[in-house]
């Protein structure tokens, strides 16, 4: 998603002398006090020549886009180590409204965030990544059910290899990877009975603030050899539109269509079960309940599948918890590629890191 305009803070308070010499805190500009209540992302930029380990200033005073001046306070979090000329991210929340509203003509100009890696010092040593390039993709979760439902574990992420403003629209390019594992907890020793591997590459093109269109290629495989390989290679076109319902509620609708390319392994009839289209619809509230339903199938054969996700942030129940309580249900064909001809219905519950 495109980054909001950034604002140079009016004041940095309670910073340590060492950090104040080289760390500069640059917050993303919220539209209003109401939006800031969800948390404001602040970039801690190291302008010095040596690494700095610091959490940043305790409080920051900023001006929202509507002119409201806010005092932000740092939320609890790990203490990052910021490389020279690099940056780290911190989360701040508003604690008060400061003084009068500031007219747009008097507001500070936007500040540029330098490209650089985020460095974190932990018990495993110093680790680094271009953290701002990673994005949530499909949900990351672990969910568990009774009997043959077993456990279903999924990891998924998208990565933007080029800067948003890169030439030739390369900033729209994404690489994504999803891996779904099925854990047979009802069997002795609890083996992983099947795994789906799904890399994809696509261009994510924004049309406006509520609409995106993606064109790309996706490979799905069960990771097996020539004798029992199931491979789906698809070129897809999908769109996503968000509708604001008010009160922080919104609906997302995402239709998708594809055609198959290349080989299908030992499963030439997989098209009969996966079809050529899908539709995802989700209704949710920011920092609240979300329900998402995906359906796909082949209209000619009448075979397909539906999957339901339900999630709720545990932070609403237990302050400081950073994941979701999560429910997942599937009915139809092709949950696991190894058993794509099998009609299954499973329900599971667990936790999710993204949704």
Give the residue among 303, 292, 301 at the shortest CA–CA distance from 331: 303
Residue 345 makes CB contacts below 8 A (sequence gap 6+) with: 329, 330, 331, 332
What DSSP state is assigned to residue 110? B
Beta strands 192-208; 173-183: pairing state: antiparallel
**Which residues are marked as active site?**
219, 221
Mind spelling out the 3-state secondary structure of the chain?
CCCCCEECCCEEECCCHHHHHHEEEEEECCCCHHHHCCCEEEEEEECCCCCEECCCCCEEEEECCCCCEEEEEECCCCCCEECCCCEEEEEEEEEEECCCCCCHHHCCCECCCCCCCEEEEECCEEEEECHHHEECCCCEEEEECCHHHCEEEEEEEEECCCCCCCHHHHHHEEEEEEEEEEECCCCCCCCEEEEEEEEEEEEEEEEECCEEEEEEEEEEECCCCCCCCEEEEEEEEEEEEEEEEECCEEEEEEEEEEEECCCCECCHHHHHHHCCEEEEEEEEECCCCEEEEEEEEECCCCEEEEEEEEEEEHHHCCCCCCCEEEEEEEEEECCCHHHCCCEEEEEEEEEEEEC
Residue 146 near residue 154 (C-beta atoms within 8 A)? no
């Amino acid at each position: 998603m495109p980054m909001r305009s950034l604002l140079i803070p009016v004041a940095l308070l309670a910073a340590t002398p060492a950090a104040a010499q080289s760390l500069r805190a640059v917050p993303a500009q919220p539209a209003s006090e109401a939006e800031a209540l969800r948390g404001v992302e602040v970039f801690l930029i190291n302008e010095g020549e040596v690494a700095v380990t610091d959490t940043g200033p305790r409080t920051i005073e900023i001006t929202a886009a509507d002119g409201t001046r806010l005092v932000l306070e740092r939320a609890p979090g790990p203490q990052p180590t910021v490389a020279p000329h690099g940056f780290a991210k911190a989360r701040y929340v508003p604690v008060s409204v400061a003084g009068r509203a500031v007219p747009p003509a008097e507001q500070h100009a936007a500040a540029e965030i330098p490209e650089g890696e985020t460095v974190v010092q932990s018990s495993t040593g110093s680790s680094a990544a271009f953290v701002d390039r990673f994005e949530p993709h499909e949900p990351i979760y672990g969910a568990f059910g009774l009997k043959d439902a077993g456990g279903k574990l999924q990891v998924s992420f998208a990565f933007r290899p080029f800067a948003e403003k890169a030439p030739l629209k390369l900033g729209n390019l994404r690489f994504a990877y999803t891996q779904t594992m099925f854990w047979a907890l009802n069997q002795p020793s609890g083996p992983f009975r099947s795994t789906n591997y799904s890399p994809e590459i696509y261009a994510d093109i924004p049309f406006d603030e509520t609409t995106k269109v993606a064109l790309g290629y996706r490979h799905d495989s069960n990771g097996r050899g020539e004798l029992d390989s199931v491979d789906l290679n698809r070129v897809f076109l999908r769109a996503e539109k968000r509708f604001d319902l008010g009160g922080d509620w919104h609906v997302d609708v995402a239709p998708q269509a594809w055609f198959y390319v290349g080989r299908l392994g030992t499963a030439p009839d997989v098209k009969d079960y996966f079809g050529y289209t899908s539709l995802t619809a989700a209704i949710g509230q920011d920092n609240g309940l979300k329900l998402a339903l995906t359906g796909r199938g082949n209209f000619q054969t009448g075979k397909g599948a539906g999957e339901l996700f339900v999630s709720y942030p545990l932070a609403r129940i237990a302050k400081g918890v950073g994941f979701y309580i999560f429910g997942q249900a599937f009915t139809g064909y092709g949950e696991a590629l190894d058993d794509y001809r099998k009609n299954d219905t499973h329900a599971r519950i667990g936790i999710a890191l993204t949704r």
